[in-house]
A and B are shown apart, each in its own frame.
Chain A
Amino acid sequence: MFSVPPSGRFNHKTVKNLENFSLNKKSNAWIKFLIAGFLILFLVYILNLSTSPVKNYFFAISSPIQKLMWTAGASSSLYFGSFLNAGSLARDNKYLKEENQKMLFQLSFLQSISRGNQEFSQISAVNQNRGFDVVMAGVIGLEANDVLSINKGSADGIFDGMPVINEQGVLFGKTSKVYKNFSEVILLSNKDSIINVKIQKYQDDQMIPAEDLPPEISGVVRGRGGLSAYMDLIPINTDINLQDIITTSSMEKVFPKDLLVGRIIQKYADDQKPFQQAEINLFSDVSGLENLFVITNYKQAN
């Protein structure tokens, strides 16, 4: 088709043929490129139609390896962390001793209250407990946007929107996407997470007696991402202190009340705004976390 003339020179027709060949080659490349692009978009569409079984399959086969890696990461980070944080160990130890003493004082104070209001306490306890059923789930991974993966799903009685806590009653978040054998938990630090909370007041390292308790200070905790969160919509005329404990409030419909959320570490108040904000330290720490508990019947009881 493109034979070279005996004279070695290309005539006009040959040059034109060469140009057309070059254009055809480029347009062929673009056609292949467009076909490949279309096939990829089609593949993405098919994948999205079958997201649940695909993800469930991969998580099911990866769960043992993920669990192993999660445990290895937790234990090795604790080991290396002890070397890096040696300087702060003494400080943390002192702080924990003081906290322990404070808790012992509060325990004795609460015991005296409960002796005086035993019937009232029993009713409160029953209402609080309500016979919650929990399903223990192992933590296997942390996805982007502060979403935790656990190795239990709809086959274990877990559904969307169930509260997730640890054994100390610290709130971690709620279940979002639930597959057959695993589930995703939206943590409190997720950017889309907003929960109603209240502040437990302390004064001079002692718990305030019941008759002197100020009205409940309510607000919301919003996730910021990166495993951090802050408290917002705190009325400007209320007095909050550093180290105040934050718990879920009775206004919260998804989560039971009085679950531990975090502690205030910094506050921001602007007189020109109707609300103040506070930086908080969440109690829900994922490092070293092995298991969580999903409350499966809170909504039904509520």
Chain B
Amino acid sequence: MILAFDTSAAYVAAALCDGRSIVATRHEYMARGQAERLLPLLEELLAEAGIGWPDLDAIGVGIGPGNFTGIRISVAAARGLALSLGIPAIGVNAFDAMQPDLARAVCPAVPGPRKGAYLRDAKTGDIRLAPVEEMLDLMQDVALATPDPTALPHQIARVAAARLATGQPQPRPAPLYVRPADAAPSSDQPPALLDD
């Protein structure tokens, strides 16, 4: 049994999956309050399925890209759950999650800041933030597929299950920020030391 969840945008979405089937799933849209809602929503999901935390085999968690704080909310919770339950937590990015369901000739994109979007290079796998102008051009030629919170947690669970099935040890989930932290080096330059 895999519990997967994602808070990388303005929602809390979760699914409880057994093999290929969805046992229970839930999503709620909210601009804020994910940190307060996430665990209660997960507990409601477990209760609906009539199981408890110890019945889980693994956690699947969305690592973005997306809202930095939102991603951290889920990743930090997933790491705490993994440690306390003694089960793996597997981080899945939105592109890997969506990939199996993509129709041909559709371009996956994850909404980013300032109306831009994150794109993944089909050849190199590199993910970058494309500005709005580039996205407008791109949409002339190709249809975009963006993460759907009603489907995403199940998609994450599916990828997590596949990785678990490889039997390989899985790294702890880490947010996929794509962009560096916004910070400028200090401009304070101390005066020269005359007797150095």
The answer on A and B forming one complex is no
